Amino acid sequence: MFKNVFASGFLVRTAHTVLTWSVALVLFLHDTDLRKQEENGELLQPVLFVLLVLASVLLYFAVSLMDPGFILSDNEMKFTCGLSEEQQEMIPQTSKALKQRRCGYCLLQQPMRAKHCQTCKRCVRRYDHHCPWIENCVGERNHRWFILYLWVQLGALLWGFHFAWSGFSYAPTWKSWLQQNGFLLAAFCLVAVFSVVVILLLGCHLYLVSCNTTTWEFMSRHRISYLKHCGTDENPFDQGTIRNLWSFFCVCHTVVWEKVYFREGSDPV
């Protein structure tokens, strides 16, 4: 893990961490409700806010450094326990013919819904997208953690937005107002922009999860071999909103998507 910390995403992760704590520091240094409560000895909200920011940073690093579901080579499988059984489970027990795909870049056999990431140079199970914000792919193993991180980050941002708004002080002229509130205004704008971005991201991902589709499948279904022959509104992996959400958030084992794709009653081309 420590090797990954100092990999290509080191600058992005450092910038995210420094920016997060810098905004939090500005909220504590200015005359916001956060500082007033701290000065009055009312420490509950300040402590909870710091813990929420800390949780968002820890989740950020967890998602950023986590294996998103990389497909291992034969040599890697020899040194990893239990993957031989998992590899056997990836072969669906179905009477319908299934043509195994092989990646054109790393030449590994890809299970259904996997894709090769040009940035990571690895194939990822249930590939969703490569996120430059976390400098990692979002895939089968870290997608739910990515959404949890968005929830926690949104909570911290909205709370920070409230505290920043409470800290603006009056001044007779614009120049003096900017001198008094310049840093707080910068923090307020950053929090506002990131709040909008996180809300849009979270809304999009929750919608896609409820439909049991991925960002890659949604954007490129006309180029994906197992989807391009399906109708516009047809999704062979959709099992209903409730079951889709349950499977995504509550089922932790590897899903054999070939079995879902060729389930009884489906007729994919």
- Which one, of 257, 261, 57, 61, lies nearest residue 157 by Cα? 57
Single out the catalytic residue among 117, 123, 131, 137. Answer: 131
Q: Which long-range contacts (CB under 8 A, 24 or more apart) does 193-198 make?
A: 194/153, 194/157, 195/154, 195/157, 195/158, 195/161, 198/150, 198/153, 198/154, 198/157
Cα–Cα distance between 249 and 137 in angstroms, integer? 18
Q: Judge whether 66 and 145 are in contact, CB under 8 Å.
A: yes
Cα–Cα distance between 243 and 255 in angstroms, integer? 14
Element (DSSP H or E) covering residue 192: helix 174-210
Q: Is 252 a catalytic residue?
A: no
Dihedral over alpha carbons 251, 253, 254, 255 (to 10 degrees):
-40
- Which one, of 197, 183, 194, lies nearest residue 22 by Cα? 183
Cα–Cα distance between 217 and 58 in angstroms, integer? 29
- The conformational region for residue 69 under phi > 0 = left, psi -120 to 50 = alpha, else beta, is left
Indicate which residues carry an active-site annotation. Answer: 131
